[in-house]
Amino acid sequence: MGVSAEKYQQSLDFLFGRLNYERMGSSKYSTSDFKLGRMQELLDCLGNPQSQVPTIHIAGTKGKGSTSVMIAEMLSAAGFRTGLFTSPHITCYEERILIDGQQIEPEQLVDLVSELIPVVAQLDQKTGNMSPTFFELTTALAWMHFQTEHVDYAVMEVGLGGRLDSTNVCEPLVSVVTNISYDHTALLGNSIEQITREKAGIIKQGIPVFSGVTQPEAKAVLEEVCREKQAPLFLLNRNFMRLAETQPGVQLKQSEDTSLLSDRNQQNIHVKTPWSLVEQIPVTLLGTHQLTNATLAVTVIDYLRQQGVPLEDGQMRQGMSRLKWPARIELVQKDPPVIIDTAHNGASIQALVDTLAASFPQMNRILIFAATKDKDVG
């Protein structure tokens, strides 16, 4: 580490010492707590780094992290310096802010936090108890890092909801809504329509929207908002689709060696976009839901290609083939097989169950599950 452990810890203490809704569980999701104006004021003081970075903005209940990393990997494989912002982290804070798959270095983090501290002190005096939060500062740090490192593109994953999320101050190249299911209902609403409307809050005037939503009521909300915003809407199985797949996931019996699981489980999909047929895209992540995420990601990349971004099918395949995404049905031990996953709502748990049933149909299973107290696990 090129910076002292003390300075590094002081930087983390500064960030985690801010109001942190990630650790508070349910909180009223309204303009009384989540203020885009506050985020914009912070960025104004920092010179608006978000306006200097072409951005792909991604919301959704599930799959937004996987879709984000797929898009980022394909752009990186084409030679573009690509920033990726996701949340939350699993083992260390730096996981949230990547460039071409590499975490922000501790010394870079310390330098950027040192720039933030006087700005935040000024805002604290001005705004009192409504000063910048942990997630707002983390989002700002990502854009600062991406600007400083001169990235070509930034892929920004929404933290919560969309409409009032601190990432929602950018003017993206495209907006993506992966899918809709029930999660954070105390904050976002108890119906698919309400949750979709919060996610649709990222839609900007005239900016294309790509979505993998399947429920009729969710589609209706997106169509309504896109009409109001005059934003072109591209929907899964209407405007783009997965045509076929080869090398389907195999079933492993109790006696089989799991050392080849990741290779044997890879599926190659063909994606029909509004502009072309992209063939033999490898999907290395476990689960049929990842095929849908990959279909969406490939379509977004193909749209960017139509807008003049030089990117070949082979580079898409290269990016997807090297993709790794921790804790997404991840095999962390092979004998006996141990899998970790971040599933915490009904839809994601069902995806996990389906994947385990397909890949390990005759194996006894032991489940260890934990969730924050605000989750509906009844």
Per-residue pLDDT at 189: 54
The pLDDT score that the predictor gives to residue 222 is 98
| pLDDT attached to residue 191 | 87
Distance CA 205, CA 18 (A): 33
What is the token pair recorded at 45? Answer: 């003081």
- The rounded distance, in Å, linking the Cα atoms of 57 and 154 is 8
CATH code assigned at 44: 3.40.1190.10
Q: Which residue do the tokens 């982290």 mark? A: 89
Structure confidence at residue 188 (pLDDT):
60
Tokens standing for 159? 């933290």
Is residue 219 a part of any domain in this protein? yes
65 lies in some domain = yes
Whether 374 is covered by a domain: the verdict is no
One pLDDT digit (tens) per residue for the chain, 378 residues: 478 999 999 999 999 998 766 555 545 444 555 679 999 999 999 999 999 999 999 999 889 999 999 999 999 999 999 999 999 988 999 999 999 999 999 999 999 999 999 999 999 888 665 689 999 999 999 999 999 999 999 999 999 889 999 999 999 999 999 998 765 555 565 688 999 999 999 999 999 999 999 999 999 999 999 999 999 999 999 999 998 665 444 333 333 333 334 444 578 999 999 999 999 999 998 888 899 999 999 999 999 999 999 999 999 999 999 998 777 677 778 788 888 877 766 666 776 777 677 777 777 788 888 776 666 655
Tokens in use for 136? 């707002």
In a domain, 339, yes or no: no
CA 232, 235, 237 angle in degrees (round to 5)?
Answer: 145
Query: Distances from the Cα of 312 to the Cαs of 79, 203, 279, in angstroms?
Result: 11, 28, 12
Residue 5: count other Cβ atoms within 10 Å of its Cβ.
9
Tokens 């920004």, residue located: 156
Q: Parallel, antiparallel, or unpaired: how do β-strands 241-246 and 97-99 relate?
A: unpaired
Domain of 281?
A: 5-327
When divided into structural domains, the chain yields a total of: 1
What is the tally of helices (H) and strands (E) in the chain? Answer: 12, 13
Residue 23: its pLDDT value, please? Answer: 54
Query: Token match 């990186």: residue?
Result: 76
Domain-located, residue 323 = yes
- Helices 134-148 and 106-127: crossing angle in degrees, nearest 10, is 130
- DSSP for residue 201: G
In a domain, 352, yes or no: no
Cα distances (Å, whole numbers) of residue 170 to 31, 51, 52, 162, 231? 18, 7, 10, 12, 16
Domain for residue 350, yes or no?
no
pLDDT at 256: 38
The verdict on residue 366 lying in a domain is: no
What residues contact residue 342 under an 8 Å CB cut-off, 6+ apart?
Answer: 327, 328, 348
Q: What pLDDT score does 233 carry?
A: 99
* pLDDT value at residue 19: 77
